[in-house]
Structure 1
Amino acid sequence: MAISEVQWPATVKPHRFKSPAQLARTLAADVAGRLRAAIAGQGTATLVVSGGRSPVAFFEALAQEALDWSKVVVSLADERWVPVEHADSNAGLVRRHLLQGDAARARFIGLYRSAPSLEAAAAEADRALVQLPPIDVLVLGMGDDGHTASLFPGSPNLDEGLRADSERRCLAMLAPTVPHQRLSLTRRLLATAGFTALAVQGEGKLATLRAALADNDPTQMPIRAFLHDPLDIYWCP
């Protein structure tokens, strides 16, 4: 089934691309346009991105966009609880592929904290996120299990992470894959974004989205919590 044939909620706007490269370029141009508009309207812009391997081409394309990067704040939807120097660090990924050249002038607010425990690190990150301005653009990814950010099915804090009225900005989360210990923004904070894009690739991810639409329980597939909010899906085979 093509993405255009899926019965999406009225809040969802799907975009199909021929290749990952085309998706990355278009998403970067769209995100940059929204950041420019935010800077023009309010003097600053805030971008929250996801980690993993798939955003690299998007990060590199966005770094080439003409922006007043000194007026942009960048943060993460989630993080692995590893030092920035670690190969699995999302902050390290952003620094290597996005915050380069002129884009290095952006202010970065990371989630990782060196603390005695994952819960303590999440509490410190939660306090640090008081400094995060309102989110203008949020770019999410999604796993084959329907997780987004690090809101994983079966994670002990998932119910709190999905609550629309949660008082927390960041929570400790456990992933089924290594590294298991994660930090994730909560749905309550993620849902405040002015524009949200979900970037996914492959027929498998499209099948996951179709499965997510077949039920309403977000604890089984956390992406469900976002499919009835305004959401632009960027997809390629």
Structure 2
Amino acid sequence: MAISELKLPQGVQAHEFRTPTLLAEGQARAVAEQLRGAIAARGVATLVVSGGRSPVAFFQSLVKQELDWSKVVVSLADERWVPVEHADSNAGLLQRYLLQGPAAKARFIGLYNAAANLEAAAEQADRLLAELPAIDVLVLGMGDDGHTASLFPGSPNLAAALQVDGSRRVWPMMAPTVPRQRLSMSRALLASATFTVLAISGQSKLTTLNAALAGDSLATMPIRAFLQPTLDIYWCP
């Protein structure tokens, strides 16, 4: 199966690359172009990215793009509720692979804090994100279970986090894998992005995306919430 064979919603753009390296480079060029446009228009650009291991090559390529990072605000679509020093921390991942060299000048707004419990951490992150400017670029990934950010099927707060008009910015979420405790931006906040990229690799992810397109349930396939005309899909076999 190729991404060109999928029945994508009108307005959704698909970009196919031969290798993960070419995908990362193409994605980085497109994101940098959007950020430069936002800086030219408003003097600042906001980039929200997802964590995990998949985006590392993209981060490394993005750092090499011509961009005034001092005018960029970076935040995370989701975070594991672990200290930044922990190997599973998304903020730590950004520090190692994105916020380096010229990109170290960017302003980073993280989600993690050492609150008494996950709910309190989510409430504090929600207040902190009141400082987040409008999102110019959002970069999402997708799991084989159809989750994106940390909007996991079966998580107790999923229905509330997926509300289109919800006022809350961050929700405590539970993942099926360790570390289970997560923080995730809400659908309402994520969907406010001007330009959204979904980056996926491999046939299994394409099969999951095809199932999401054919289904009708956000509860079982949260990625469906973002299959909108503002979406660009970047895929390689």
TM range (shorter): over 0.9
Aligned residue in 2 for 1:155? 155
Query: What residue identity is the alignment partner of 2:105?
Result: R
| Greater than 2 Å deviation, 4+ residue runs | none
Which string of whole-angstrom CA distances, capped at 9 and with x for unpartnered residues, describes residues 80-135 of structure 1? 00000000000000010000001000000000011011000000000000000000
SS class of match (1:9): coil
Aligned residue in 1 for 2:69? 69
Native 8 Å contact 2:10 2:229 kept in 1: no
Native 8 Å contact 1:3 1:14 kept in 2: yes
Query: What residue identity is the alignment partner of 2:220?
Result: Q
Rounded to whole Å, the distance in 1 between the matches of 2:202 and 2:173 is 26
Native 8 Å contact 2:152 2:222 kept in 1: yes
Query: What residue identity is the alignment partner of 1:209?
Result: L
Residue 215 of structure 1: how far off its partner (Å): 1.2
Native 8 Å contact 2:194 2:230 kept in 1: no
Rounded to whole Å, the distance in 2 between the matches of 1:30 and 1:213 is 24
Aligned residue in 1 for 2:112? 112
Native 8 Å contact 1:11 1:227 kept in 2: no
Aligned residue in 2 for 1:220? 220
Aligned residue in 2 for 1:183? 183
SS class of match (2:123): helix
Residue 4 of structure 1: how far off its partner (Å): 0.5
Query: What residue identity is the alignment partner of 1:115?
Result: A
SS class of match (2:21): helix
Rounded to whole Å, the distance in 2 between the matches of 1:214 and 1:30 is 28
Query: What residue identity is the alignment partner of 2:184?
Result: S
Rounded to whole Å, the distance in 2 between the matches of 1:181 and 1:94 is 19
Aligned residue in 2 for 1:37? 37
Aligned residue in 2 for 1:93? 93
Contiguous gaps of at least 5 residues in structure 2: none
Residue 229 of structure 1: how far off its partner (Å): 4.3
SS class of match (1:233): strand
Aligned residue in 2 for 1:146? 146
Relative to the length of structure 1, the TM-score reads 0.99
Native 8 Å contact 1:148 1:222 kept in 2: yes
Native 8 Å contact 2:144 2:204 kept in 1: yes
Native 8 Å contact 1:15 1:235 kept in 2: yes
Rounded to whole Å, the distance in 1 between the matches of 2:2 and 2:49 is 26
Q: Once superposed, what is the RMSD of the aligned Cα atoms?
A: 0.6
Residue 64 of structure 1: how far off its partner (Å): 1.0
Rounded to whole Å, the distance in 2 between the matches of 1:94 and 1:11 is 31
Relative to the length of structure 2, the TM-score reads 0.99
Rounded to whole Å, the distance in 2 between the matches of 1:95 and 1:6 is 36
SS class of match (1:73): strand
Aligned residue in 2 for 1:84? 84
Aligned residue in 1 for 2:236? 236
Rounded to whole Å, the distance in 2 between the matches of 1:138 and 1:116 is 29
Rounded to whole Å, the distance in 1 between the matches of 2:68 and 2:234 is 25
Rounded to whole Å, the distance in 2 between the matches of 1:155 and 1:203 is 26
Contiguous gaps of at least 5 residues in structure 1: none
